[in-house]
Structure 1
Amino acid sequence: MAPETETDAAPNAAADDAEASSSDAAFGDESSAAQRTAVGVKLGSTRTVLSMGRDEERRVVKTLTCLATYEDALTGDERVLYGETAAAEYPDRVQYMLRSGLPEDDERAELTERFFAELLRSESVPEDSGVVYAIPTIDNEPGLENLGAVVEDSEIGSEGVRSYPESLCGAIPAMGDGLEAINDIFVSINLGSTNLEACAYRRGEQLAPWATGAVTGVGVDRAITGYVEEETQRRVTVDQQTAREYKEQHADFVDYEPFTDIVQQPGGGSHEFTIEWAVMDAVDEFVDAAVEAVADDFLPGVAQEHVRVYRRALDRPIVLTGGMACIPGLVEEFETRLSETLDREVTCVAPDDPELAAAEGAQRIAERLLEN
């Protein structure tokens, strides 16, 4: 699990504390907070989100976490494309550098640095900013250090840079318009692309952080590719990116409708096919597996180490974040199945847009730090 460090302290406590971590020795100096930009960052395995500005001027940027390089036809210089443009124009050599959730080695760290620098330049993110970035709950110290270096060594964050757990940042928009989550006791579960993460929080303090790579959104994508092939009697094979698009565009526990698509045949011509069950079977299995992992592995650990917090947390809404929580009806399905598994009624909630929540929560923390 990610070690608890000074950068993981609750923002209200951190704001009152005169000491700061090594990466934010000047978080909020003598200049007016109104002149500085609060920036929240979530570098995700599939998408990266930036949230910046204040109130009605807040701006959100969402893009695929990938890049591609090409040679300028006139000058011969190497050019960089990122996000959806890179994936669409150079599908043969686009690189997703955070497939495991973190830049695990020097090569991936360098690619992530190039991607992040290009994104910041393209979106004109101001250097005069206080930055908070969300970090996953993964026991991978080199990867976490590389992620920190990418953000902390970038051109933004002259007013300071701090990191907070992704499951905490993502829960903040689900629990109020401010930082109410920081002063509450609750459980947060992040249904991410590369990890299923969970943590109990007591007034901003991490308790029993837990993660598994066995139940993931990427696993759903892989299952969809196999089920599409099975449902079409092996007439159709889709790649993992197409499977992810099927999931994001069509998965729906409330009002699912079969859909059609067309593929080009190797010998010429096209083939139209209809998907009846492949997508929803894969998503349904994900919910069952996630509930089982939370009920059998995560919650017993919380109960054993922090029994009173466990009892209070289950009387409060459990917050679901991450890309899989965007699927219509999934939160309610998770709630129903977890209640049945635990043989007690539990309530689950999610932010309005779970995919953007971690960056938005990080930005709110950055605003508070700048104000203080």
Structure 2
Amino acid sequence: MSESESDGAEFDEQPAALGVKVGSTRTVVSAGDANDPNVVRTLTCLATYEDALTGEEHVLYGEEAATEYPDRVRYMLRSGLPEDEETTDLAKTFLEEFARSNGLPEDSVVVYAIPTIDNDVGLERLSEIIEDGPIGERLVRSYPESLCGAVPALGDGLEAIEETFVAVNMGSTNLEACAYRRGEQLAPFSTGAITGTEVDRRIANYVEEETQGRVNIDLTTAREYKEEHADFLDYEPFSDIIQQPGGGTYEFTIEESVMDAVDEYVDDAVDEVANVFMPELANDYMKIYQQALDNPVVLTGGMACIPGVVDEFEQRLSEELERDVTATTADDPATAAARGAHRIAGRLVELNEY
């Protein structure tokens, strides 16, 4: 966990509490009342353009940038962390524009939900972005994304901080797993081989195969197919239309491509958790391993949003471990990390820990 404090400035009022998740695909901020938060989310991207009259450079971010300037929009955290000085500076600009546009208060206590990735240089750059950011003048802290995401899944308060459990973060750029004991992170594990982005690539490939080469979609369209149509409970084939190079349109129907890709993802994720992470956890912390599996495994991250994925993961993990395992997730996994971080920030404000 990292922490930075203001430089002795005097404040008269209690600061606002904010929870922030700056993700590879989307950024989410939870503000206001932590029990009934105002949640704002946008794509983690920006584009610049020159004013046609004044020649000044202007910045657009989020959906507006992606829609108006798809040819040069920049997703600065595609790998989950900034990769160099350029993407670090872009991320700083993005956060400044996002905070300004949404009126996020400088006088605030901010908790960031950050990934568990074995990349010290990238994490240092992320810390730089956070500490130089436009919010969190009173206090900035960062907690693991999977812990923050587990908070709304395990109760109405901060019960997760008192529990022993396993969390699996099913994100766009990494699959992460770890155990928590009263907020302490044990045996953290991360792999970039099983990701939501890889699912998008498979969907694009499978669509091409299913349409016998007639349709080629980009990763953005594949992600949209996944988010709009993937469903383990009640999947229905869907149709789309493309413009053909020689003129006219071509309508096609997707029967299997989306669900084949997400089904393979769940199998791969369960295999990695059951046969790589769990043995390491049992080897290092046998009693914690036993206690944690008596409680639900908490799924967090964007892939946990797919309807029915929790039951599928639970069933397949139980079969793989040859013991009954339960799984759960928050009511909105895509915003859970920011909402959990917000509750932690709210508690810090209540305790005057700033």
Which range, TM-score by smaller chain? over 0.9
SS of structure 2 residue aligned to 1:125: coil
Aligned to 2:272: 293
Distance, in Å, in 1 between the alignment partners of 2:49 and 2:197 is: 28
- Aligned pair partner of 2:261 in 272, 282, 303: 282
* 1:36 Cα deviation from its structure 2 partner: 1.8
Distance, in Å, in 2 between the alignment partners of 1:349 and 1:24 is: 35
Query: Is 1:172–2:157 an aligned residue pair?
Result: no
Query: Is 1:268–2:232 an aligned residue pair?
Result: no
* 1:59 Cα deviation from its structure 2 partner: 1.2
* 1:57 Cα deviation from its structure 2 partner: 6.0
Deviation string, structure 1 residues 295-339 (Cα, Å, up to 9, x no partner): 011010100000000000001000000000000000100000000
| Runs of 4+ with >3 A deviation | 25-32
The amino acid across from 2:290 in the alignment is: R
Aligned to 1:24: 5
Cα distance change on mapping 1:300 and 1:56 into 2, 3 Å: closer
* 1:158 Cα deviation from its structure 2 partner: 1.2
Aligned to 1:163: 142
- Aligned partners of 1:27 and 1:370 also within 8 Å: no
- Aligned pair partner of 1:333 in 312, 321, 330: 312
Deviation string, structure 1 residues 93-122 (Cα, Å, up to 9, x no partner): 111111100012101101111111110010
Aligned to 2:339: 360
Query: Is 1:70–2:59 an aligned residue pair?
Result: no
SS of structure 2 residue aligned to 1:296: helix
Cα distance change on mapping 1:67 and 1:209 into 2, 3 Å: same
- Identity across aligned pairs (percent)? 65
Matching of residues 1-372 of structure 1 within 5 Å: 5=1, 7=2, 21=3, 23-24=4-5, 31-32=12-13, 35-55=14-34, 58-372=37-351
* 1:41 Cα deviation from its structure 2 partner: 0.6
The amino acid across from 1:24 in the alignment is: E
TM-score, scaled relative to structure 1:
0.92
> Please, which moves more after superposition, 87-96 or 284-293?
87-96
For structure 2, the 5+ residue unaligned runs are none
Structure with the bigger percentage of helix: 1
SS of structure 2 residue aligned to 1:315: coil
- Aligned partners of 1:26 and 1:160 also within 8 Å: no
The amino acid across from 1:339 in the alignment is: S
- Aligned partners of 2:179 and 2:188 also within 8 Å: yes
* 1:58 Cα deviation from its structure 2 partner: 2.5
> Please, which moves more after superposition, 142-151 or 300-309?
142-151
Aligned residues: 351
* 1:207 Cα deviation from its structure 2 partner: 0.4
Cα distance change on mapping 1:31 and 1:199 into 2, 3 Å: farther
